[in-house]
């Protein structure tokens, strides 16, 4: 559980010192980390029906067989965003991203030795609105221009918009780290890895039979109409028939919904995860097999994390690990 932080942490203070060396007049901002690193939501809630693999209507299937623990590792990434200073009205954002693989050896989770966990500390600055801020980073702090044309449309000068674009950049960096580590695992190992989130962003990972993505958030539900009812009504241990997800710029993957825990007394998505696997996973047997792996991770509970209904203990352990080193 994260303890309340009364003031800037060591990384923020270091970042501030770094900036003040370059811009002595910059104003320090006394603020803790943004409470919800996912803020602002980039994906508004939406329904996006996806075709089932066999072209039939979506069905609820009971996962056949007993849960079996097959994941040899868990991958997760973290991001932390802080406004450490402002230059005029421009927020200077410190983003710390980290990603790591926790390998399971003799039922214990340890850092995967194949590729070290990665931590990056960067300052996210809108060069376009504050030319004075267009300085270069050093070994400790990299600098990212959040108004780089390559990132798309120029954000508004509004401080909130600048913050939002910084956060998007931070998220991109996190995904990049995660993706690199997932790719390294798939290249070096021959056992499955459980990845927190989707796998479609990296084609190499998405095409690996070892990578299994477990998506916990449901801003986009890949079902509509009666299928939506079916998804939200899945009982514990049930899954949907697999469907194909193919979105612009992302690799094609096979996906299905799986209810990990009985959601009686909770909301409809409680205990509900969406699984992503490589597109070659097509048969019910393969889908059941991977579902059994995910179901096996139901214990130990990921408490006290509030997402414990969907989160595996391995992923929580990865998060804790990254929090400690980042």
Partner 1 sequence: MTGQALGRVVATERRPNTPHQFHFWTAVTSPVGIGTIVRVDGEHPVDGQLPKIYGAVIEGFSYSDLVSPMHDVLGHDGEPSSAGFAPTERTEIRLYTAAVLRMIPEEPLQPVPMGSVFLADENDVAVALRMDSYLRDGASTGIPIGIYHAGGTDAPIYLDADFLVGPEAAHLNITGVSGLATKTSAVEWLLSSLFTHFPKEKGTIAAVAFNVKGPDLCYLDQPGRIEPADEAMYEKMRVPAKPFDNVRYYAAYDAGGYNLNTLRSNDALLHNVQPLTWGLREVLQYAEVLLNKDDVDAKADAVIDFIRDKIAGREFRDERLARRRYKVDSFAELDEWFRDVLAMLEEANSESYRTHHVATIRKVRNRLTNIALRCAGLVTAEGTVSDLPFGSFEDRGVYVVDVALLEEDAQDLIFTRIVSKLREHLERRNLGVDHVVVFVDELNKYAATEGPETYVRKMLLDIAERGRYLGLVLFGAQQFRSQVHRRVVGNSGTSLFGRMDADELAAPGYAVLSQAIKTKLSTLEKGQLMVRHPHFTQPVFIRFPRPAVMQGREGVELFPQAAEVSLDAAVTRSLRVLDPSISLEWVKQQIALREDDEVIQARNATVLAHPRDVKAFFASRMRPLAPVRAEAPKQRPVSIKLPVGDDPYGF
Footprint of partner 1 on this chain (CB under 8 A)? 1, 69, 71, 104, 107-109, 296-301, 303-304, 313-314, 316-317, 320
CA 7 → CA 33, 83, 85, distances in Å?
9, 12, 13
Give how far the C-alpha of residue 269 lies from the chain's centroid of Cα atoms, to the nearest Å: 18
How many whole angstroms separate alpha carbon 166 and alpha carbon 128? 13
CB of 107 to partner 1, least distance (A): 5
Token representation of residue 4:
């309340």
Q: Is the peptide bond before 40 cis (omega within 30 degrees of 0)?
A: yes
Closest approach of partner 1 to the CB of residue 300, in Å:
5
From the CB of 305, what's the least distance to partner 1, in Å?
10
Which CB sits closer to partner 1, 88 or 300? 300
Q: Output 112 or 313, the one with its CB closest to partner 1.
A: 313
Which CB atom, from 160 or from 299, has the smaller least distance to partner 1? 299
290 closest CA partner among 217, 239, 218: 239
CB of 298 to partner 1, least distance (A): 8
- Write down the least CB distance from residue 304 to partner 1, Å: 4
The nearer residue to partner 1, 21 or 307, going by C-beta atoms, is 307
Using CA atoms, how far residue 127 sits from 38, 87, 144, 161, in Å, is: 24, 11, 9, 14
Residue 1 or 150 having the CB closest to partner 1: 1
Nearer to partner 1 among residue 70 and residue 176 (C-beta): 70
Give me the half-sphere count of Cα atoms (radius 13 Å) on the Cβ side of residue 207.
Answer: 6
- Is-cis flag, bond preceding 304, omega within 30? yes
Is there a cis peptide before residue 315, judged by omega within 30 degrees of 0?
A: no
Q: In what helix (H) or strand (E) does residue 100 lie, and over which residues does it extend?
A: strand 90-105
Residue with the two structure tokens 């390559």:
150
Distance, CA of 241 to CA of 47 (rounded, Å): 17
Which C-beta is closer to partner 1: that of 108 or that of 264?
Answer: 108
Closest separation between CB of residue 290 and partner 1, Å?
Answer: 15
Please, what is the minimum distance in Å from the beta carbon of residue 10 to partner 1?
13
């Amino acid at each position: 559980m994260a303890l309340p932080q009364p003031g800037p942490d060591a990384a923020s203070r270091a970042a501030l010192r770094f900036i003040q060396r370059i811009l002595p007049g910059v104003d320090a901002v006394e603020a803790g980390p943004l409470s919800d690193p996912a803020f602002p939501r980039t994906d508004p809630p939406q329904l996006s029906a996806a075709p089932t693999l066999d072209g039939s209507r979506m069905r609820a299937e009971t996962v056949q067989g007993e849960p079996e623990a097959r994941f040899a590792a868990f991958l997760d990434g973290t991001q932390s965003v802080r406004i450490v200073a402002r230059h005029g009205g421009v927020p200077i954002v410190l983003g710390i991203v980290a990603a790591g693989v926790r390998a399971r050896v003799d039922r214990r989770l340890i850092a995967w030795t194949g590729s070290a966990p990665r931590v990056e500390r960067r300052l996210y600055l809108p060069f376009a609105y504050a030319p004075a801020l267009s300085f270069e980073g050093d070994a400790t702090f990299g600098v990212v221009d959040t108004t780089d044309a390559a990132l798309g449309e120029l954000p508004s000068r509004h401080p909130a918009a600048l913050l939002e674009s910084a956060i998007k950049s931070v998220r991109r960096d996190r995904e990049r780290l995660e993706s690199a580590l997932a790719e390294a695992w798939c290249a070096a190992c021959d056992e499955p890895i459980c990845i927190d989130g989707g796998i479609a962003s990296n084609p190499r990972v998405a095409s690996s039979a070892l990578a299994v993505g477990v998506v916990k958030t449901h801003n986009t539900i890949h079902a509509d109409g009666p299928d939506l009812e079916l998804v939200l009504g899945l009982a514990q241990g049930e899954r949907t028939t697999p469907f194909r997800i193919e979105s612009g710029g992302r690799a094609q993957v096979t996906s299905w919904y799986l209810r990990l825990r009985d959601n009686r007394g909770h909301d409809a998505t409680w205990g509900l995860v969406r699984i992503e696997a490589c597109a070659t996973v097509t048969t019910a047997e393969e889908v059941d097999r991977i579902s059994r792996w995910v179901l096996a991770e139901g214990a130990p509970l990921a408490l006290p994390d509030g997402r414990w209904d969907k989160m595996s203990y391995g992923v929580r352990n990865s998060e804790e690990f990254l929090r400690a080193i980042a």
